[in-house]
Amino acid sequence: MGGNTLMTADPTTPTNATFAALGVAPELVAQLERSGILQPFAIQALTIADALAGRDVCGKAKTGSGKTLAFGLPALMRTGRSQSKHPSTLVLVPTRELALQVTEVLEPLGAAVERRVHAVYGGADLEQQAKGLSRGVDVVVATPGRLIDLVDRHAVSLSAIELLILDEADRMADMGFMPQVDWLLRHMPDGRQTLLFSATLDSAVDQLVRRHLSDPVFHEVFSDQPTVEQMEHRFLKVHQMDKVRVVAAIAAGAAKLLVFVRTKRGADRLVQDLRELGVAAAAIHGDLRQGMRERALTRFSEGKLAVLVATDVAARGLDIEGVDVVVHYDPPEDHKAYLHRSGRTARAGEAGVVVTLVLWDQELEVERLQRRVGLRLPMVEAFSNDPRLKDLASWHPEEDAGAT
């Protein structure tokens, strides 16, 4: 593979470049300005010109760095008008939440250049999505499983795809979607342009790049996604009967509290228990109707909901501002999950606290987890009536005389 690697240090600070200088169409520049977007972020400044030139691009950047416009602006400019059921551009994403986020960004821009954008994802009405495709869509934003369903039903053909965008490729790999992605790629014509964006380029993503990208140019942005060192970590030993009340106590001192659990059933049960304690909480997981998930996310983002309880899969692709505390209600399965969950806080330079609740039979598991992420912190016994739970950022358990 050829190409080069360019890097910058601050992905969420606008660069000195302009969208017009990068070759973005005046209609799109005007629409961006109406939305208050005046200068590109780093990943956009690095990749847009190459994408507009027809190059295959591999962009390495974290969630929240501006990737949607990095691929969306060139896509809308390079996408022709499409026939019924034969879109020209396909954006593959791992989750329905990300499909909706990408579509929300691209729809007004598409309208500015008379290009139609349509999202298809699981959990929504299949027939309605098929009808939308039959009316003719230029850019389809899709999750792999739902798109395969639509291809099998002959509701959409991939034979006219000229531009493929793979967004959050590493998450698609982590979620086991690579066989589906490979199936879809085999149904697309050769010679298409491919843009791939990923937070990492580990083995599964690297194989995808080697097999399906042609002489790609590589661009990497050093992310400001918080590192372990930038977060405040608290490991609290709790008792099973007091565990929910500990979360309620933490919520009393948090603006936005995001709680991770391992199972859908566990998420529903925790929400019910928190509501019984008077805490405004809602869950997001794969068994909920899309409308319920969207309402919960909107209320949480707007600060109308104190606590959002999420499973790992449901939280993939989320980029919610202002999450000041993340709680691992159930310890994550591995260190990668710990970092991904924890990375929902301390964003854009803001402070953030990560709390792991530990039952007596989970201590060895959590000790191993700490070693994998490079931490060595005490696990301190905490009860729900401890006033320090309302201000975890100021409480440093390692300084307590009773820390173990």
| Amino acid (1-letter code) at residue 122 | G
> Residue 197's beta-bridge partner residues?
59
Phi, psi at 391, each rounded to 5°: -145, 65
Contacts with 51 (C-beta within 8 Å, 6 or more apart), sequence order: 57, 70, 71, 74, 75, 78, 193, 195
Phi, psi at 370, each rounded to 5°: -60, -45
Name the architecture of domain 26-220: 3-Layer(aba) Sandwich (3.40)
Specify the pTM: 0.64
How high does pLDDT run on average in the chain?
A: 86
Residue 365 corresponds to which tokens in the numbers above? 């598991």
β-pairing verdict for 57-60 and 193-198: parallel
Residue 395 confidence (pLDDT)? 85
| Per-residue confidence band for 151, with pLDDT thresholds at 50, 70 and 90 | very high
pLDDT tens for 337-355 read 787 788 777 554 456 899 9
Residues of the chain with CATH 3.40.50.300: 26-220, 228-396
Is 70 exceeded by the pLDDT of residue 230? no
Element (H, E) at 128: helix 126-134
Closest by alpha carbon to 108, among 73, 65, 81, 135? 73
Residue 349 confidence (pLDDT)? 47
Residues 44 and 64: their CA atoms lie apart, in Å, by: 12
Contacts with 107 (C-beta within 8 Å, 6 or more apart), sequence order: 117
pLDDT tens for 71-128 read 999 999 999 889 899 999 999 999 888 898 899 899 999 999 999 999 999 888 899 9
Angle between helices 26-34 and 67-78 (to 10 degrees): 140
Other C-beta atoms within 10 Å of 391: how many?
A: 13
Residue 250 corresponds to which tokens in the numbers above? 């933490």
The DSSP 8-state label assigned to residue 101 in this structure reads H
Burial of 313 (0-12, 13-18, 19+ CB in 10 A): middle
| Amino acid (1-letter code) at residue 298 | T
Residues 201 and 260: their CA atoms lie apart, in Å, by: 26
Which CATH number does the domain 228-396 belong to among 3.40.190.10, 3.40.140.10, 3.40.50.300, 3.40.50.360?
Answer: 3.40.50.300
pLDDT tens for 294-331 read 888 889 888 889 999 988 766 655 667 778 899 999 99
Residue 194 corresponds to which tokens in the numbers above? 């491919």
Burial of 261 (0-12, 13-18, 19+ CB in 10 A): buried
